[in-house]
Amino acid sequence: MASKQQIILPIAVLVGGLGIAFAFASMKQPPEEKPAQDTRPLVATTALNYAAMTLDVQSYGIVKPKHQTELVAQVSGQVVSVSEQFVQGGFVKQGDILARIDANDYEAALIEAEAGLAQASSGLEIERAQVHVAQAEWDRIKGDSHEMIPSELYLRKPQLAEKLATFRAAQASVKRAKRNLERTYIKAPYDAIINQRSISLGSVVNPGSSFGTLSSTSLAEIRLPVADKELQYLANQGIGANVSLMAEFAGKQTTWQATIVRNEGVIDQKSRMSYLVAQIESPYAAKSPLRFGSYINATITGRTLDNAIVVPQHLVNDNKVAVLNNDHTLSFKTLAVVREQNGQVIASNGLSDGELLITSALDYPTEGMAVKLDTSAQPLTATQLAFKEE
């Protein structure tokens, strides 16, 4: 049988242990309460504002002369003179003599034709006098009789017709001789630049022989390919629209102004593009000439939208964009898309002026989702966004 000491000792140890445990428990600090974490996604925004916008159309082309002519000989002979301006790249004025064919034979032909004309003219005058004499003789013979009818041969009418025909043929010979003499002078038909010269001093030419080619400097044309769907952005299908032409001249980017004068009205079978033709007057008269053969980039002025906004294309999904509401929730708005170009979407309606467009990429955005505005990020304007996308 256990003694009283054996019973009391375990109880005392147990009570002491509980006391020590309670003392340590009372000394321990309670754990600090952690604040609730904000799990809303962080977003950046930009304010969109409506403004007037021009729907320009981009194109390209090669500058060509409107008129290009091959000079050919119309008479035969030896080339006896060539102008110093008649060289490749030379500029000439309308009427300038570029070359001359030996005119001796044609001057002689003209003298001969003029002599023939003088002879025919004399014969015609003599015959007219004889007709007058014949008529007077007949009037004397017939007297008061009205029944007598003279023959045309007696009145010399056939002879007069023959002399008149000879006179007209002589006139034609003089005209032909003068024209052939004029054709010995090879003249510029308009203000031009010489593309090529095919003859030299002393060359012998025949009708049809080429002297060279030249291009008019009064007008230049550029064929501008435009996709058929792009024509909707141009008033009157582009006819009459202003065009800015850009190309390098002497190593510097230079701009010229032109005008669309016509639509070729067909679609190219290979490229499936429509072609607008721009014209520029006196391309070589400017301080920076627009040279034939230059490759240019063109901006065609299109229709103007009174109110439009530009949104980066990657922020638009099925014509919808995410916007930030005043209560820091996300909503989707549908845009009235007018055009998609160069990574941008142009819309004419769908958002309120100054509305905040969410520009951050969200994994699973939903309507009404709570978001948090990133105040550390500097808001971007729509223009800066467009530039950033480019």
For residue 367, being part of any structural domain is answered with yes
Residue 231 burial (CB count, 10 A): 16
93 & 142 share domain: no
Helix (H, G, I), strand (E, B) or coil at 227: strand
- Structural domain tally of the chain? 4
The set of residues, in sequence order, having a beta carbon less than 8 Å from that of 89 and lying 6+ positions away, is: 193, 194
204 & 82 share domain: yes
Surface-to-core class of residue 178, CB atoms within 10 Å of its CB (0-12 exposed, 13-18 middle, 19+ buried): middle
Cα distance between residue 236 and residue 263, in whole Å: 10
Tokens of 343: 């990574």
Pairing outcome for strands 372-373 and 42-43: parallel
Residue 374 predicted with pLDDT over 50: yes
293 & 360 share domain: no
Here the CATH number for the domain that contains residue 280 is 2.40.30.170
Nearest to 192 by CA among 267, 83, 101, 52: 83
Window from 127-136, 151-160, 191-200, 254-263 with minimum mean pLDDT: 151-160
What is the per-residue DSSP string for 29-82?
PPPPPPPPP--PPEE-EEE---EEEE--EEEEEEEEES-EEEEE-SS-EEEEEE
Task: Give the model's pLDDT for residue 269.
Answer: 87
321 & 265 share domain: no
Question: Which tens digits make up the pLDDT trace of 58-116?
Answer: 999 999 999 999 999 999 999 999 999 999 999 999 999 999 999 999 999 999 999 99
117 & 155 share domain: yes
Please tell me which residue, 22 or 177, carries the higher pLDDT value: 177
194 & 96 share domain: yes
Question: Which tens digits make up the pLDDT trace of 222-278?
Answer: 999 999 889 989 988 889 999 999 998 888 899 999 999 999 888 888 888 999 999
89 & 112 share domain: no
160 & 271 share domain: no
Report CA 198 to chain centroid distance, whole Å. Answer: 33
Window from 129-143, 163-177, 338-352 with minimum mean pLDDT: 129-143
78 & 112 share domain: no
Task: Give the model's pLDDT for residue 134.
Answer: 76
Here the CATH number for the domain that contains residue 348 is 2.40.420.20
289 & 171 share domain: no
Nearest to 360 by CA among 293, 327, 312: 312
* Boundary (domain end) residue, out of 272, 287, 304: 304
Question: Which tens digits make up the pLDDT trace of 303-353?
Answer: 988 888 888 988 888 889 888 888 888 889 888 888 888 888 888 888 888
Domain limits at 128?
104-182
For residue 260, being part of any structural domain is answered with yes
167 & 210 share domain: no
DSSP lists the bridge partners of residue 317 as 320
For residue 8, being part of any structural domain is answered with no
For residue 28, being part of any structural domain is answered with no
94 & 192 share domain: yes
